[in-house]
Structure 1
Amino acid sequence: MAEKPKSMVLGVVAAAVFAGLGRMVIQKILSDRAARDHHVTVPLDEETRARISDALRRPSK
C-alpha cells in the first residue's frame, strides 16, 4: 500500500508564526539598543507593544 503524504501545512504555519514573533522581538531589541545608544526614546506603536506583550505572556505548550 502506498503511504499517505504528510501535510506540511502545520509546519509551514508554525514556521511563519515563529518567524513573525522572532522578528517582533528582534525589532524591539534593536529599537531599545538604538534608543539607549542615542539617548532617544521613541515609543513603539500600541499594536506592536500589545502583540509583543501577548506573545511573552502566553504560556508555551
Structure 2
Amino acid sequence: MAEKPKSVLLPFLAAAVFAGLGRMVLQKIKADRAARASNMAGPLDEKTRAWISEVVRTPRQ
C-alpha cells in the first residue's frame, strides 16, 4: 500500500499563527512597560485636583 503524502501546509500555517500571536504579546508587553515608564497618569497635585473637581461640578449652560 502506498502511504498518504503528508501535508506540510498545516505545520507551516500553525507556526505562522503562533509566531504572530507571540509577536502581538511581545508588542503588548513593550507598550505596557513604556506606558509605565512614562508615568503619564502620575499623582496629581492639590491645585490640579481642585480644578478638575470644579470643572466636573460646574453645570454647563
TM-score (norm 2): 0.56
Moved over 6 A (4+): none
Give ranges in structure 1 of 5+ residues lacking alignment: 42-61
RMSD over aligned CA atoms reads 1.8
Shift of 1:6: 1.2
Residue 49 of structure 1: aligned partner = none
Rounded Cα–Cα distance in structure 1 between residues aligned with 2:30 and 2:2: 50
How many residues end up aligned between the 2 structures? 41
Rounded Cα–Cα distance in structure 2 between residues aligned with 1:39 and 1:18: 32
Residue 25 of structure 2: aligned partner = 25
Give ranges in structure 2 of 5+ residues lacking alignment: 42-61
Once the two structures are superposed, the pairs formed by residues 4-15 of structure 1 within 5 Å of their partners are 4-15=4-15
TM-score (norm 1): 0.56
* Structure with larger RCO (C-alpha < 8 A, sep 6+): 1
Q: Determine what percentage of the aligned residue pairs are the same residue.
A: 68
Rounded Cα–Cα distance in structure 1 between residues aligned with 2:12 and 2:19: 10
Shift of 1:30: 0.4
Rounded Cα–Cα distance in structure 2 between residues aligned with 1:30 and 1:13: 26
